[in-house]
Amino acid sequence: MRDRGQDATLRLGIAGLGMAAARILPEIAPLPFLRLTGAADLRKHALDRFAQEFGARVYGTVEDLCESDDVDAVYVATPHEFHARHSIAAMERGKHVIVEKPMALSLDEAEAMNAAADRHGVKLMSGHTHSFDPPVRKMAEVVAGGGLGDLLMISTAYYKDHMYRPFSDHDIRMSRGVVLNQGPHQFDIVRLIGGGLVRSVRAMAGIGDPTRPGEGHYACHLEFEDGVPASLVYSGYAYFDTGELVWGIGEGGLPKDPDRHPKAREFFRSLGAGPERSEGLEGRLEGRRYGSGAVSGSAHETAPPHQPFFGLTIVTCEKGEIRQSRDGLYVYDDRGRREMPVERGARGREAELSEFRDAIVHDRRPFHDGRWGEATLEVCLGVLQSAQERREVYMSHQVPVTH
């Protein structure tokens, strides 16, 4: 960034204008501390739309985007298998990087990304996850404050429709179903509350629908270095909906359609099988990519009425337990149940981009830096290894919560 002052504007380039960008751009375009100055994609109509909406330069390759003198940092939102390559390409050209989850597909890739950040003196941030949600951060704050005594255990579960959202079979395969796509959310939440240092993973994961080439569920036991256990369950098969247990509130804080899961399964049944299904999926996917549908990158979203929920998380301490309420936290102790308010504040990508920009301006490491992202990825990969080998897998790349 040319101006290191407090009011410096982050000039951001977007690598990849697909479905992720269609969700990202409405959230980040209005932020006053950044300006969208470039984008790269293979789809010309998406580039044309971006240039028109943001008055920015567009490029046919990520490498060309990263050569631009108008770009301080790159948001890598390309398909999973390109995260490492495109992040390293940006950092080699002196650009700071924020990369979508999963950070990478292997620990070797993550190590190479972190090495590139160190070598070129740039910031690398791993996003996005629900550990940035205000209620999750408040839970971690309560635990760290010690008012409820020592942390004893954490339990979290989410039953969702992930396997029947319109992802291509290739995307499902690359993300190992829910494990590398949704796992980073859950493991980041638990690692934040538990202090970060996971000692070992014991898990089972499997493919419950043979028509979708990726793991659709897992059940996992984590042990932290201090002996605290955590249990994590995720099902993406669109049967039961955890929303029933949390007042029908979804991930973004908006009410969920109670028929969303049956509708998702019915949609997939309507696509048929084989090439017919692939064609139907591709048509739906293209409609959701940036530049193809009605999504406007500069649109403001309606403020959600509640705090975001990523399933149901219960934290057990010596002197009480904690879970989310509609808009804050419920604390259960000797006095019964009381509600602790949680300030609405920045959430999601707004919180992440603010953290990222501040790290650049003040030359400090972002909390969710590449080492944190690698530690979360290690847990996700540990789930897959443990399930395959049916044994406990020990971690070696963990980092603690530092603030």
What pLDDT is recorded for position 59?
Answer: 97
CA distances (Å), 354 to each of 180, 265, 292, 299, 399, in order?
A: 25, 37, 29, 19, 22
Please give the structure tokens belonging to residue 168.
């291509």
Q: Provide the pLDDT for residue 299.
A: 40
Domains present along the chain, CATH in parentheses: 10-128+348-352 (3.40.50.720), 131-346+380-394 (3.30.360.10)
Beta bridge partners of 58: 39
**What is the structure's pLDDT at 120?**
98
Give the CA count within 13 Å in the CB-facing half-sphere of 63: 1
Q: Provide, for the chain, the percentages of residues in helix, strand and coil under a 3-state DSSP scheme, each rounded to the nearest 5.
A: 40, 20, 40
pLDDT in tens, the chain (403 residues): 544 455 589 999 999 999 999 999 999 999 999 999 999 999 999 999 999 999 999 999 999 999 999 999 999 999 999 999 999 999 999 999 999 999 999 999 999 999 999 999 999 999 888 999 999 999 999 999 999 999 999 999 999 999 999 899 999 999 999 999 999 999 999 999 999 999 999 999 999 999 999 999 999 999 999 999 999 999 999 999 999 999 999 998 999 999 999 999 999 889 888 888 888 888 888 888 998 864 444 444 567 899 999 999 999 999 999 999 999 999 999 999 999 999 987 788 899 999 999 999 999 999 899 999 999 999 999 999 999 999 999 999 999 998 6
Q: What is the pLDDT of residue 302?
A: 66
Query: Can you read off the two tokens belonging to residue 333?
Result: 């102790």
3-class secondary-structure state, position 282 = helix
CB within 8 Å of 90: residues ≥ 6 apart: 15, 62, 66, 74, 76, 96, 97
Q: pTM of the full predicted structure?
A: 0.94
Interval 271-283: pLDDT, tens = 888 888 888 888 8
End-to-end alpha carbon distance in the chain = 25
For position 3, what pLDDT does the model report? 45
pLDDT at position 1: 59
What pLDDT is recorded for position 185? 96
User: CA 367, CA 401: separation in Å to the nearest integer?
Assistant: 8
d(CA 150, CA 304): 34
Q: Are 60 and 330 in contact (CB under 8 A)?
A: no
